[in-house]
Structure 1
Amino acid sequence: MAVFVALGAFLMTLFGGWTAQRVTDRRHLVLGLAGGLMLGVVGLDLLPEAMRAAGEEIFGVPQALLLFVGGFLVAHLVERLLAGRQAAHGGDPQGGGGHGAAPGKDGRVPQLGVTAAAAMVGHSVMDGIALGAAFQIGSGMGTAVALAVIAHDFADGFNTYTLTSLYGNDRRKAIMMLVADAVAPVLGAASTLLFTLPEEVLGSYLGFFGGALLYLAAAEILPEAHHEHPARSTLLCTVLGVVFIWLVVGFAG
């Protein structure tokens, strides 16, 4: 049952990526919406779930929050390392000028976009595992998790395509990462036929991934959205992204 439901997540992820691809003529609005979706997913979905599953304190701080900060710092470190490596090899992003390249932004590193998208793929695998685990508990729990996964996989597909193309990767690579992200929850759900993931491990992962995702939204996506088009419409798209995730979480709960 979980694998069948995961096919809905597969289709929703592809639809999210298709939407991001079709509105590239309004790139600042796409990035503004992506930033809002990412902020909403982190603050309203990932972090609360991580706190519930891995809230045991370590030296006065919940484990999930420690991993959240760790994920933020690791994302920052990876970006700085990749940017330094790129500068040492000439300073120009590889693949610059491809579809989705960031205009006027020296030092954009295509590998970082692929790395970020790969993290989204890993997250989608965990979505599938969570879906399978929920159906192991019961059909009611499985249905609730299925609604949440399918609904927010639109945002996952949208963000995977946007993250890959933002750093100068061409359209073919962005689509490749999108397809990988769409297949991931199906594989994750299928894997639960073989094993069960402890809840604390899942919560710890969600905290770490949430920190990394917040860094990308706050340090990369939103600044780029307002770089050339500091318009109210861009800000509105960001707010709408957050509200959308809020509604998804509310209805799924």
Structure 2
Amino acid sequence: MSTLAWITISGVAMSALALIGSVTLVLPSRMFDRIVLPLVALAAGSLLGGALFHMLPASVVALGNELSVYGLVALGFLSFLVLEQFLHWHHCHRDHNHVSHGPVGYLILAADGLHNFIGGIGVASAFIIDIQLGVITWLIAAAHEVPQELGDFGLLVHSGWRKGRALMFNVLSAATFLVGGYVAYLLSGDIDVAVFIPFAAGNFIYIAAADLIPEFSHEETARGKVVVTLTFLVGLGALYLLAGMV
């Protein structure tokens, strides 16, 4: 299968993940509250593990152990910091009842669309360098899409959006992932797309450290703290073990 086919399939699959948000409509709120933080913790561990154990080593192999590689990681981290500061965006939204009607939903969708576009560039660049790295990078990115989409869809519905409209716009914002993938593919003939890998690693580190870890670190019960810590370690450890196998 060609690299372009891998990029296309990964983009379509990522867009399809946006549909998982509709699960919030059928799950009892108590059950949703019970599973969302462990999912967030698992995603955080997976993102950090993917960035540290897969994407950074691949960046060093492709670009050399140069200071510029780590500068690109910092730039990727900073880009999401700026994005969040200016668009007031968080991947996880635990309290849906305090969201007012107005531009918040559009800001979330705009930021998610930009985030997915950047993510598509990073994942496609990984596919261009190595198909196996591309698959792993896609899985890492997909890991945090599940709790994100659950939270974002619930937020849109609870802030006054009709269910069908919220689902449609969520899918459209996710489709920018495929657009980013095609952009990276088109650019690959003119520039070394390997530079996008450490940049994407910085994105992943920011999402884990600034958005996801603070969400589950507020768990109040002792049992809850143990559960989220263990699921975080499962995500981190699984990516470490996978790095040793490939």
The two structures have a TM-score, normalised by structure 2, of 0.67
In structure 2, which of residues 62, 76, 80 is the aligned counterpart of residue 75 of structure 1? 80
**How far did 1:239 drift?**
1.4
Superposition deviation, residue 7 in structure 1: 4.9
Distance between the aligned counterparts of 2:218 and 2:97, measured in 1?
A: 9
**Closer, same or farther: CA 219–4 of 1 in aligned 2, 3 Å:** closer
CA distance change for structure 1 residues 205 and 78 in 2, over 3 Å: closer, same or farther?
Answer: same
Superposed CA RMSD: 3.8
Distance in 1 (alpha carbons) for counterparts of 2:134 and 2:83:
28
Instruction: Identify the residue that residue 234 of structure 1 maps to in structure 2.
Output: 228
Structure 1 191/216 Cα, relative in aligned 2: closer, same or farther at 3 Å?
same
From 124, 129, 142, give the equivalent of 1:128: 124
SS at match of 1:231: helix
**C-alpha distance 10-204 of structure 1, shift in aligned 2 (>3 A):** closer
Match in the other structure for 1:3: 4
Q: Does 1:220 align with 2:211?
A: yes
Q: 1:104 to 1:125 in 2, by over 3 A?
A: closer
Checking the alignment, whether the CA contact within 8 Å between 1:46 and 1:206 is kept in structure 2 is: yes
Q: Which deviates more, 1-10 or 217-226?
A: 1-10
Tell me how far apart the structure 1 counterparts of residues 43 and 201 of structure 2 sit (CA, whole Å).
Answer: 15
Percent identity for Structure 1 against Structure 2: 15
Gaps of 5+ in 2: 158-165
Deviates more, 1:165-174 or 1:120-129: 165-174
Write the mapping of 1:111-126 to structure 2, written as runs, cut at 5 A. 111=107, 114-116=110-112, 118-126=114-122
**Cα distance, 1:56–1:250 mapped onto 2, change above 3 Å:** closer
Instruction: Specify which of 30, 36, 51 is matched with residue 42 of structure 1.
Output: 51
Q: Distance in 2 between matches of 1:72 and 1:31?
A: 19
Q: Is the 8 A contact 1:63 1:204 kept in 2?
A: no
Residues 116-149 of structure 1 deviation map (CA, whole Å, 9 limit, x = unaligned): 5533432323433443x44xxxxxxxxxx22332
Equivalences for 1:54-93 in 2 at 5 Å?
54-55=63-64, 57=66, 62-83=67-88
Give the equivalent residue in structure 2 for 1:138: none
CA distance in 2, matches of 1:124, 1:235: 29
User: What 5-or-longer segments of structure 1 have no aligned partner?
Assistant: 87-92, 94-99, 135-144
Relative to structure 1, the CA distance from residue 69 to residue 188 in structure 2 (aligned partners, 3 Å threshold; closer, same or farther) is closer
Relative distance call for 1:169 and 1:248 in structure 2 (3 A) is farther
TM-score normalised by length of structure 1 = 0.66
Amino acid at match of 1:40: G
Structure 2 Cα separation of the partners of residues 113 and 47 of structure 1: 29
Tell me how far apart the structure 1 counterparts of residues 93 and 9 of structure 2 sit (CA, whole Å).
Answer: 31
Amino acid at match of 1:211: G
- 1:33 equivalenced with 2:42 (yes/no): yes
Verify the 8 A CA contact 1:34 1:241 in the aligned structure 2.
yes
SS at match of 1:196: coil
Which residue matches 2:182?
Answer: 187
Q: 1:18 to 1:240 in 2, by over 3 A?
A: farther
